[in-house]
């Protein structure tokens, strides 16, 4: 047992059965079965003496007395739909809009869907299903769960928390850019429609001009670089300059929205996701209808879909497909564990995994139509080819798409709903990442943090906001890209590989399958067990190796990075990765007793006293 700080689960005087048994099958009512909405998630139970009917009888025909301490009742989702919307909202993020369409057409158009779907089925979906099942069965976050699986790998949970902090430092800043654009759109004329503004240079030229050359810059590009970011006042990482007040105010507004969405747990978040998860689909459909009606839209969509089968011979296409499906579904960030831990014990997590992962991938595909119909329109307007119009990443949604919107009738309306969509897409994802860390720490330290969730969330967000201030400087855009690569980009691949190895190789696929059977009434099929044992770990290791080999390519060529920055970047990556071996050493050397063999057993075997979690409770059942 990890004696270093976890105090959320009460000890027992005597236990029976194997490790992690659920005391009821799928077709029986739980002894503590509750409705979807608990009466009071803040009540604390006192130690209770329970006579275990399964315990062996003593000589006087009495049974062993089991003393169980249950900390606090665990809240559940108010409705099943809230959980599904939260998972969909986390998985469907800005990358679905600005990365997938570009990756798709760059790697063979329709042909790219072949490796994409294969990696979804054999790599991404099994990991997605695994995390939903783990969280639902054990009903705790990414820290406490490891004493039930492999205590020595608890460092995986700390690594995930650190990665989530890095993500919060830059991802909320990107949402802040969208907030800036949203407020700038409330005007009679969009500020990036002309070159007559104080921030414009002599090179500024309308994209519809016949004299537009590769040396000219569009009003939209100058608005983003010289008005929103003002990056010309800084010099990348070498001189980032002071914080830009207006941008910092926008990002601060994002943090305020995040706080009031998360401060009460899933009860508050469950209400917010009805708006933040559904609104992007309404806007996507509206933009799709508008996009396909534009001249040149058909050519753009054909450019997006036309298969180039010969590109499948290139290994880069397959690596890009594997990376895209992994980062799109988002296993390993602790979010799926956290969100599913608030489900009822016998919820059908298998069906949820199929539904939410399918919706995520279909959304990416739909976003491609929205983006390429407009790219086709821009190529038509500029009288050029589509490959000279398109950009990947932030440039696509903050330069190219606003540029296209500016040429449409009713441009103010289209701009407002487009940036509202980006904001809601970003908020859902940041909700998920932060909730993973909040749930993990509240579960691990219930007496210190769990009882003061509102204050803890406030302090955590204040800390992340202060850490994020450098991304709001004039050179902050370079730091945003830097953190995107070295924060979660490389480290999360290794962390998830270790997580999968801990579950499938130490805890065991058979044991995990038995846990699923106790929840759903049947074991996962042979396909899932093969994927979990062999295919998924290889899938993760392959992406990790190729990502390390191409890390400079991940940084891109748009910004300059001094030589020292690569060392700092690897230090950032190692700061989370090293949590894993350091905790293994700590667990073996300082938190275990006995000889070498006993220490190994205590470190790498799930604790026999951990029992499965009673639905509706945060403690263990005996």
Binding-site entries for Na(+): 89, 91-92, 96, 328, 360, 425, 428-429
Gap between the Cα atoms of 337 and 193, Å rounded:
45
Gap between the Cα atoms of 176 and 158, Å rounded:
27
The residue assigned the tokens 């503004």 is 197
Gap between the Cα atoms of 19 and 609, Å rounded:
7
Gap between the Cα atoms of 461 and 467, Å rounded:
10
With the C-alpha atoms ordered 366, 372, 374, 380, is the resulting torsion angle positive or negative? negative
Gap between the Cα atoms of 531 and 126, Å rounded:
7
CA 172 to chain centre: 13
Q: Any idea what DSSP says for residue 452?
A: G
Q: Which residues are annotated as a binding site?
A: 89, 91-92, 96, 328, 360, 425, 428-429
Q: Determine what percent of the chain falls in helix, strand and coil, rounding each to the nearest 5.
A: 65, 5, 30
Phi, psi of 617 (to 5 degrees): -120, 155
Q: State the virtual CA torsion across 56, 59, 63, 64 in degrees, nearest 10.
A: -80
In three-state secondary structure terms, 243 is: strand
Gap between the Cα atoms of 609 and 520, Å rounded:
23
Contacts of 234 (CB under 8 A, 6+ apart): 240, 241, 473, 474, 475, 476, 478
With the C-alpha atoms ordered 373, 288, 357, 550, is the resulting torsion angle positive or negative? positive
Q: Are 391 and 399 in contact (CB under 8 A)?
A: yes
Gap between the Cα atoms of 106 and 356, Å rounded:
26
- Write out the DSSP string of 308-373: -GGGGGSHHHHHHHHHHHHHHH-TTSSHHHHHHTTS-TT--HHHHHHHHHHHHHHHHHHHHHHHHH
């Amino acid at each position: 047992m990890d004696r270093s700080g976890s105090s959320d689960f009460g000890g027992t005087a005597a236990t029976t059965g194997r490790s992690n048994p659920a005391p009821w099958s799928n077709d029986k009512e739980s002894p503590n079965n509750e409705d979807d909405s608990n009466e009071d998630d803040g009540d604390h139970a006192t130690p209770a003496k329970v006579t275990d009917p399964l315990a062996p009888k003593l000589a006087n025909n009495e049974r062993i007395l089991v003393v169980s301490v249950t900390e606090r009742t665990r809240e559940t989702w108010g409705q099943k739909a809230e959980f599904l919307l939260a998972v969909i909202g986390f998985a469907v993020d800005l990358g679905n809009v600005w990365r997938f369409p570009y990756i798709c057409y760059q790697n063979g158009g329709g042909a790219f869907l072949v490796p994409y779907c294969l990696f979804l089925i054999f790599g991404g979906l099994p990991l997605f299903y695994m995390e939903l099942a783990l969280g639902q069965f054990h009903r705790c976050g990414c820290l406490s769960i490891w004493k039930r699986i492999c205590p020595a790998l608890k460092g995986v949970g700390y690594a995930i928390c650190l990665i989530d902090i890095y993500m919060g430092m830059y991802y909320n800043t990107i949402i802040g850019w969208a907030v800036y654009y949203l407020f700038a759109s409330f005007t009679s004329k969009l500020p990036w429609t002309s070159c007559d503004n104080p921030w414009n240079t002599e090179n500024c030229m309308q994209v519809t001009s016949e004299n537009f050359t590769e040396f000219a810059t569009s009003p939209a590009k100058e608005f983003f670089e010289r008005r929103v970011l003002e990056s010309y006042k800084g010099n990348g990482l070498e001189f980032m300059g002071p914080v830009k007040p207006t941008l910092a105010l926008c990002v601060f507004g994002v943090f305020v929205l995040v706080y009031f969405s998360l401060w009460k747990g899933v009860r508050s978040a469950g209400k917010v996701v009805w708006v933040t998860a559904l609104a992007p689909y309404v806007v996507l459909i509206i933009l799709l209808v508008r996009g396909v009606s534009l001249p040149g839209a058909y050519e753009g969509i054909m450019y997006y879909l036309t298969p180039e089968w010969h590109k499948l011979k290139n290994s880069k296409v397959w690596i890009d497909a594997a990376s895209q499906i992994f980062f799109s579904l988002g296993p390993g960030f602790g979010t799926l564990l956290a969100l599913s831990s608030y489900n009822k014990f016998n919820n059908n997590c298998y069906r949820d995994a199929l539904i939410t992962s399918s919706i995520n991938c279909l959304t990416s595909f739909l976003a491609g139509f929205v983006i390429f119909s407009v790219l086709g329109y821009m190529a038509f307007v500029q009288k050029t080819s589509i490959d000279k119009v398109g950009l990947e990443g932030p440039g696509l949604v903050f330069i190219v798409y606003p540029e296209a919107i500016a040429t449409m009738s009713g441009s103010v309306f289209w701009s407002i709903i487009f940036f509202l969509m980006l904001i809601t897409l970003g908020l859902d994802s940041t909700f998920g990442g932060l909730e993973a860390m909040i749930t993990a720490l509240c579960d691990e330290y219930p007496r210190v943090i769990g009882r003061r969730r509102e204050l803890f969330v406030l302090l955590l967000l204040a800390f992340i906001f202060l850490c994020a201030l450098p991304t709001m400087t004039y050179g902050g855009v370079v730091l945003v890209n830097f953190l995107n690569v070295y924060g979660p980009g490389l480290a999360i691949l290794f962390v998830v590989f270790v997580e999968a190895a801990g579950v499938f190789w130490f805890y065991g696929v058979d044991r995990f399958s038995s846990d699923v059977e106790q929840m759903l009434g049947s074991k996962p099929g042979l396909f899932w067990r093969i994927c979990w044992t062999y295919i998924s770990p290889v899938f993760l290791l392959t992406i990790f190796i190729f990502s390390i080999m191409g890390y400079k390519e991940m940084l891109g060529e748009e910004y300059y990075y001094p030589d020292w920055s690569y060392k700092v970047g690897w230090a950032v990556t190692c700061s989370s990765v090293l949590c894993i071996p350091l905790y293994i050493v700590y667990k073996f050397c300082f938190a275990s007793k006995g000889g070498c063999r006993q220490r190994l057993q205590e470190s790498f075997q799930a604790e026999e006293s951990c029992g499965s979690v009673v639905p509706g409770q945060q403690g263990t059942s005996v």
